[in-house]
């Protein structure tokens, strides 16, 4: 699915996820409500209501009502590539979502998927992959950019321009 070029990019927020690895990656996280509050505050401190945000999967866990409650608190129009923890029916009618998205930016095509392992050889010839899933466990190389919050060290969305600048100047 082609989408407009997003202003912001983020992945792996895992809102409402009480996972045992969270304190390792997010030492500031004392509990789920605290984690959710900090990430919503970071998000809304940057993103305007009219901005577009590309979320590369694993947005939230838990019941549909809790997921939609979180989304309603977030500024911007969200484009979501489904992650391995995302339940599709939770996002129906509230975000634009698909398994894979792409957009054009400065003459390049950017493919957007949750897992980097799904980057097709044909896509590698022409574009760059923005992904999540690895929580910083995979180095950005060749044509892969991990945009997950645990990879970037910033717990809100990052500007697409900043992500591309860091990638091109590594």
- Residue 3 belongs to a domain: no
Res. 72 pLDDT band, cuts 50 70 90: very high
pLDDT at 80: 97
Number of domains in the chain: 1
pTM of the model: 0.89
29 or 143, which is more confident?
143
Domain annotation covers residue 30: yes
Please check whether residue 153 lies inside any domain of the structure: yes
The answer to whether residue 126 sits within a structural domain is yes
Note the residue count of the chain.
Answer: 170
CATH of the domain at 163: 3.60.21.10
pLDDT of residue 34: 86
User: Residue 128 sits in which domain range?
Assistant: 8-168
Whether residue 2 is contained in a domain is answered as: no
Phi, psi of 4 (to 5 degrees): -65, 155
What proportion of the chain, given as a percentage, has pLDDT over 70? Answer: 84
Query: pLDDT at position 94, please?
Result: 93
- pLDDT score, position 128: 87
Model pLDDT, residue 97: 95
Task: Tell me the per-residue pLDDT of 19-63, one tens digit each, with 9 for 90 and over.
Answer: 655 555 666 667 888 889 989 999 999 999 999 999 999 999 889
33-42, 76-85, 115-124, 144-153: range with highest mean pLDDT: 76-85
Directed axis angle between helix 32-46 and helix 64-73, to 10°?
Answer: 30
What confidence tier does 104 reach under pLDDT thresholds 50, 70, 90?
Answer: very high
DSSP, collapsed to helix, strand or coil, labels residue 12 as: coil
Q: Considering only CA atoms, which of 27, 37, 39 is closest in space to residue 149? A: 39
């Amino acid at each position: 699915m082609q989408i407009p070029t997003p202003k912001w990019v983020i992945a792996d927020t895992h809102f409402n996820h009480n996972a045992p690895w969270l304190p390792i990656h997010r030492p500031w996280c004392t509990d789920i409500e605290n984690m959710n509050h900090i990430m919503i505050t970071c998000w809304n401190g940057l993103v305007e209501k009219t901005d577009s945000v590309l979320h590369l999967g694993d947005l939230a866990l838990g019941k549909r009502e809790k997921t939609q409650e979180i989304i309603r608190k977030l500024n911007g129009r969200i484009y979501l590539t489904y992650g391995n923890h995302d339940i599709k029916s939770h996002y129906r009618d509230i975000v634009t979502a698909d398994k894979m998205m792409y957009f054009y930016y400065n003459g390049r095509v950017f493919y957007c998927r949750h897992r980097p392992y799904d980057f097709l050889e044909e896509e590698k010839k022409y574009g760059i992959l923005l992904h999540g899933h690895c929580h910083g466990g995979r180095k950005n190389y060749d044509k892969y950019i991990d945009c997950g919050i645990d990879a970037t060290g910033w717990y809100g969305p990052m500007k697409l321009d900043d992500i591309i600048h860091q990638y091109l100047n590594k």
